[in-house]
Chains A and B, each alone.
Chain A
Amino acid sequence: MLAATVRVAGDLDLAEECVQDAYVSALNAWTTSGVPANPGAWLVTTARRNALDVLRRAQVFRTKMPLLAEDDVDEVSFTGGSVVRDDTLRLVFMCCHPALSTDARIALTLRLVCGVATPDIAQAFLVPEATVAARITRAKKKIVAASISFRVPEATELPDRLDAVLTVIHLLFTTGHTAPSGDTLTRADLAERAVDLGRMLHGLMPDEREVRGLLALLLVNHARRATRTDPDGRLLLLEDQDRSQWDQAAIAEGHQLVVAALRGGRPGRFSLQAAIAAVHATAPSYEDTDWNEILVLYDELLRVWPSPVVALNRTVAVAMVDGPGVALREVEKLERDKLLTGYRYTAAIKADFLRRLGRHTEAAAAYRNAMELADNEAERAFLAMRIKESAGEPS
């Protein structure tokens, strides 16, 4: 509804106001004449009419409504079909424009696309409400001042613009999947919002391979949500999770999407990450996972997405294929390159390799380093347990 109105108003604040006004008009009109057959369409039409009235009064047609030139808005024929679809897509691309900061993109998407209230966004990210409100206000101002357009990007711009959208949804999911700080490991609401967004985007752009890949990645990871902590909220590693509790329907759906996403040329980073997650999710156990396949996928992922975090995660597969000694040397090389300084999982992964090599004193020291960077209580409890175990072993 907001999306449909923005297209007419070309101004976010105005659109929000007009939507509010439409609800007020609806309450008045519907109490006297009854609820119309299609209340949603009625509201959108009213909000658009309000937007037009306001804009006409303000005589800002030329400056604020470049979009009117392409659409005959006086003849709004709202059918609830393609108009909403296109407008939602426009809204997503506008909120996720790479010219906005990542924080602003996330806040705007939650606020305007998902309709999450500002205080709830603030709570999910553990920041003051005023911070989120300011972030949203600043982003809206930039959208208007810099003429960030409300349209679906052209084919030539699409890869970059789509990647910015997928990044926002993925970040939303990872924040919900493993909260960077706080008392519990997951923030289920955020992860679910991300899955919903991924599903919506896939509905809007069913032929985009990376959209399929992202949805698959989210579904497969989300399928493990019930088993990632024990009943006391303690973190459980992949190898210790009860695989019978995984959501098999979601894994099957994700797997199907991955197969489709990998087809037709070199796959993108989300499709490859989804493929890795799917190999894990369909393996009978941690030991009986096809680690060679996972390593091949990581090699390919590193080619299309040469990020130090990917290189670090790849060492986990290296440890399973070539042993913890080889993997440890690769982590140490990454440490020397200093690209992972301050990343909270480097020390934890290194500690695990040292532990498996029987070098317990060094492992305990590395676990302590990891502890210094961990803010999440579930993760801290896990690391504390490992430190205790390592200290008890002879080196």
Chain B
Amino acid sequence: MPQYAFLIYENEIPIEDIPADVMAANLAAPEKIEAMGARIVSEYPMQPGSTATTLQKGGAITDGPFIEGKETIAGFFVVECRDLDQAIAIGKLLPIMDGGIEIRPLHEM
């Protein structure tokens, strides 16, 4: 089955400010994903973009994420599932507040 990375872009807000229903939906997602016959391969929540360090072409080291924007990548997870339609269905389990979720197929290794 193909694998997809789900890159979650959101406004960075303190964890306690995340609405309860959003939090609940996120916590309930893994079980629903498994129930669909898909498999979560790995998940990586990230520290805020302010903790990031970027190495620029030419060797400069800069403070902050590579792409400075209102929304930044907040984490990603990898799921193995049937096809893009199922991947989209999985993405829809996660409420989007301000940003978006990029679904990127992975190379088969």
Q: Please give the residue numbers on chain A whose beta carbons come within 8 Å of chain B beta carbons, in ascending order.
A: 63, 66, 97, 99, 145-149, 153-154, 157
Is there an interface contact between B82 and A149, defined as CB atoms closer than 8 Å?
yes
> 9 tightest CB-CB pairs across the interface, nearest first?
A149-B83, A147-B2, A147-B83, A146-B105, A148-B84, A146-B84, A145-B105, A147-B84, A149-B85
Known: A149-B82, A157-B85. 15 other contacts (CB 8 A): A63-B108, A66-B82, A66-B83, A97-B84, A146-B2, A146-B4, A146-B103, A146-B105, A147-B2, A147-B82, A147-B83, A147-B105, A148-B83, A149-B85, A157-B89
In the complex, the answer to whether B108 meets A99 with C-beta atoms within 8 Å is no
A157 to B89, CA, bound (A): 9
Report 12 cross-chain contacts, Cβ distance below 8 Å, ordered by A residue.
A66-B1, A66-B82, A66-B83, A146-B4, A146-B103, A147-B83, A148-B83, A149-B82, A149-B83, A149-B84, A149-B85, A154-B85
Contact B89 A99 (CB under 8 A): no
Query: Closest residue to B89 on the A side, CB-wise?
Result: A157
Distance in angstroms from A222 CB to nearest chain B CB is: 33
Interface residues of B in 1-21 (CB under 8 A from A): 1-2, 4
Q: Which residue of chain A is the closest to B104 with respect to CB atoms?
A: A146
> For the side of the interface on B, what is the size category?
10 to 19
Q: How far is the CA of A147 from the CA of B82 in the complex (A)?
A: 8
SS of A interface (majority): loop
Which residue of B is nearest A93, CB measured?
B85
Task: Give complex CA distance A223, B105 in Å.
Answer: 45
B96 contacts chain A at the CB level, 8 A cutoff: no
| B-to-A contact residues, CB < 8 Å | 1-2, 4, 82-85, 88-89, 103, 105, 108
Cβ of B105 to closest chain A Cβ, rounded Å: 5
Q: How far is the CB of B92 from chain A (nearest CB, A)?
A: 10
Main secondary structure of the interface of B (DSSP, over half): mixed
Question: Which of the listed residues A147, A153, A154, A157 has the most CB atoms from chain B within 10 Å of its own CB?
Answer: A147
How far does the alpha carbon of A99 sit from the alpha carbon of B82 in the complex, in Å?
16
Nearest B residue to A156 via CB reads B89
Chain B residues with Cβ under 8 A from A157's Cβ?
85, 89
Chain A residues lying within 8 Å of B2, measured Cβ to Cβ, are 146-147
Smallest Cβ distance from A155 to chain B, in angstroms?
13
B89: A residues at CB distance < 8 A: 157
Given A149-B82, A149-B83, is A99 in contact with B88 using a C-beta cutoff of 8 Å?
Answer: yes
Please give, as numbers and ranges, the residues of chain B lying within 8 Å of A146 by CB-CB distance: 2, 4, 84, 103, 105
- Distance between A354 CB and nearest chain B CB, rounded to angstroms: 42
Across the interface, name the chain B residue whose C-beta is closest to A161: B85
Q: Give the nearest-CB partner of A145 in chain B.
A: B105
Task: Give bound CA distance, A182 to B89, whole Å.
Answer: 42
Which residue of B has the minimal Cβ distance to A149? B83
Contacts of B108 in A (CB 8 A): 63
In the complex, A99 Cα to B88 Cα: how many Å?
Answer: 9
Expressed in whole angstroms, the Cα–Cα distance for A145 and B1 within the complex equals 12
CB pair A153 B105 closer than 8 Å: no
**Residue from B1, B2, B108 whose CB has the most chain A CB atoms within 10 Å:** B2
Note all chain A residues with C-beta closer than 8 A to B103.
146
Q: How far is the CA of A40 from the CA of B84 in the complex (A)?
A: 32
Closest Cβ of chain A to B5, distance in Å, is 11
Q: A99: nearest residue on chain B (CB-CB)?
A: B84
Chain B residues near A153: list those with CB within 8 A.
85
A219, chain B: closest CB distance, angstroms: 31
A142 to chain B, nearest CB (A): 9
What B residues does A154 contact at CB under 8 A? Answer: 85
Least CB separation from B105: chain A residue: A146
Which residues does chain B contribute within 8 Å of A66, judged by CB atoms?
Answer: 1, 82-83
Q: How far is the CA of A66 from the CA of B82 in the complex (A)?
A: 9
Residues of A within 8 A of B1 (CB): 66
B22 → chain A closest CB, angstroms: 22
Closest chain B CB from A150 CB (angstroms): 9
- A98 to B, closest residue via Cβ: B88
- Smallest CB gap from A150: residue in B: B83
CA gap between A184 and B89 in the complex, in Å: 44
Cα A63 to Cα B107 in complex, Å, equals: 12
Complexed CA–CA distance, A145 and B85 (Å) = 13
What is the minimal beta-carbon distance from A67 to any residue of chain B, in angstroms? 10
